[in-house]
């Protein structure tokens, strides 16, 4: 038995793939980035805004105070950089997946680079 798709069927298949196969993206908004609904987990919209933030905002070259104004306080900070939690998935107790947006800065507190770092439990 041969199954043939009409032009309409292909359009529906493509639409369904687009609808369910792609992660929802949102435009970056500072207020959504910093708004925690649960203090144990990163704000849920961070994952959806990450692409817009990293592709459409000039992050390298910002001063540390400018970064704070844009993204709010970081989740982690040391002498070499800061990190913002993007996503956290827990097993029974411990994390099984984490995603962070990490920034490094110079001794003059100028952002020199950033990268998204993911960790999966093995």
- The pLDDT, as a whole number, for residue 19 is 42
**DSSP codes of every residue in 4-49:** ---HHHHHHHHHHHHHHHS-------HHHHH--SSTTS--THHHHH
- The pLDDT, as a whole number, for residue 23 is 61
Q: Walk along the chain (122 residues) and give the pLDDT tens digit of each residue.
A: 555 555 554 445 444 444 444 568 999 999 999 999 998 899 999 999 999 999 999 999 999 999 999 999 999 999 989 999 999 999 988 999 999 999 999 999 999 999 999 999 88
Say if pTM beats, i.e. exceeds, 0.85: no
């Amino acid at each position: 038995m041969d199954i043939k798709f009409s032009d309409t069927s292909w359009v529906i298949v493509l639409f369904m793939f687009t609808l369910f196969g792609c992660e929802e993206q949102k435009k970056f908004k500072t207020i959504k980035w910093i708004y925690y609904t649960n203090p144990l987990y990163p704000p849920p919209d961070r994952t959806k805004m990450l692409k817009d933030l990293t592709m459409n905002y000039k992050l390298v070259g910002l001063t540390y105070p400018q970064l704070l104004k844009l993204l709010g306080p970081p989740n982690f900070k040391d002498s070499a950089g800061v990190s913002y939690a993007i996503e956290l998935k827990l097993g029974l107790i411990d994390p099984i997946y984490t995603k962070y947006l990490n920034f490094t800065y110079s001794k003059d507190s100028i952002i020199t680079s950033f990268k998204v770092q993911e960790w999966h439990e093995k």
